[in-house]
Amino acid sequence: MPTAANRQMQPTIQAPQARLVPRGRVPQKHRVIIDAHVHLYPTGVDLDPAGWSAAQGERHWAVLCTRRRRDGRPVQTLPTLAQLLDAMDAAGVARAVLLGWYWEKPDTCAWQNRFYAECVRAHPDRLAAFATLHPAAGRDATLAELRRAREDGLIGVGELSPHSQAYAVDDPVFREVLSLAGDWRLPVNLHVTDPASRPYVGRIETPLADFTRLAREFSATTFILAHWGGLLPLSELRAEAATLCNVYYDTAATPLLYDAGVWSRALPACGHDRVLFGSDFPLNLYPKWDEVPGLTRLLAEAQAGGADARVLGGNAAQVFGW
């Protein structure tokens, strides 16, 4: 029996259908560029983000995604699928990977997974997607959701954040998901906060040792640690991190977290063959210059900082089997 929250969310899943129109392919010379960390939401969320999140019980998302800067401008916008594709075209990005959010409610996870499946079916040459999950659904429902997402063509799991979603990294359902992801060759993207980063509204600690332990214990599972993995390869755990052959790092939200010199510092530490270009679109990464989020400036910064063809797309293609 659908809950009131489910009934409230259902219509927004269908709304994007009218805009899922075929788009032109980007030129072949640009097809190596892959953005491995993008978020997108169905139509309806943008009409009243705060009201929607309150109705669904997604308070942490609201704290992070409805924030405004001191001048009143939003930290991020809620673009349409068409606007995402336009931003990709403008930057010459061949493909983008839609990551789920680390929702607090299992129903919201399933809702976003269905939307992403629609997006991928409409644009299989431009988009791929990961499934998001919450163990609070229980073992059977969580694993059933993972199976359905895989059958729908989703190619990974994440962005998950046990610390933000209020379950332990030792949660048995979460651990079974990680094990099954290894068996099915589904990469797992985990949200990581740099322990040395500045305070901000909604910031949650994510101890780096939790991630090295998960990578050791699930050695058959490929992990992508978001946001440079909180600079794990430059931390006091760098020696251990160097031994983890199943760990990659993405560059999501770099300009909001670090100065431009992070590329030259972190790339050698992580290894050029272990870094995936990721933007965290639709965060506005350059608010001093841009009114709306885009990908062009970040690509230029990455290349100026030493990101090569592996970082910009080759590593992602290898991890995702493209």
Assign residue 187 the CATH number of its domain. Answer: 3.20.20.140
Count of structural domains within the chain: 1
pLDDT at 17: 32
pLDDT at 150: 98
Would 247 be classed as within a structural domain?
yes
Residue labelled with tokens 């590329």 = 263
Would 28 be classed as within a structural domain?
no
Which long-range contacts (C-beta less than 8 Å, at least 24 apart) are formed by 312-315? Answer: 312/32, 312/33, 312/34, 312/277, 313/31, 313/32, 313/33, 313/34, 313/94, 313/277, 314/32, 315/248, 315/273, 315/274, 315/275, 315/276
pLDDT at 11: 33
pTM: 0.90
pLDDT at 50: 87
Would 26 be classed as within a structural domain?
no
Low-confidence stretches of the chain (pLDDT beneath 50):
1-8, 10-30
Longest dimension (CA), the chain: 54
Phi-psi region at 251: left, alpha or beta (left = phi > 0; alpha = psi -120 to 50): alpha
pLDDT at 19: 27
Taking 3-state DSSP, the helix, strand and coil percentages for the chain, each rounded to the nearest 5, stand at 50, 10, 40
Would 218 be classed as within a structural domain?
yes
Would 263 be classed as within a structural domain?
yes
pLDDT at 287: 86
Would 2 be classed as within a structural domain?
no
**Residue 284: which of 98, 94, 90, 73 has the closest Cα?**
73
Tell me the β-bridge partners of 281: 38
Would 8 be classed as within a structural domain?
no
pLDDT at 94: 96
**Residue 167: which of 122, 137, 194 has the closest Cα?**
137
Would 14 be classed as within a structural domain?
no
Q: Which domain holds residue 66?
A: 34-320
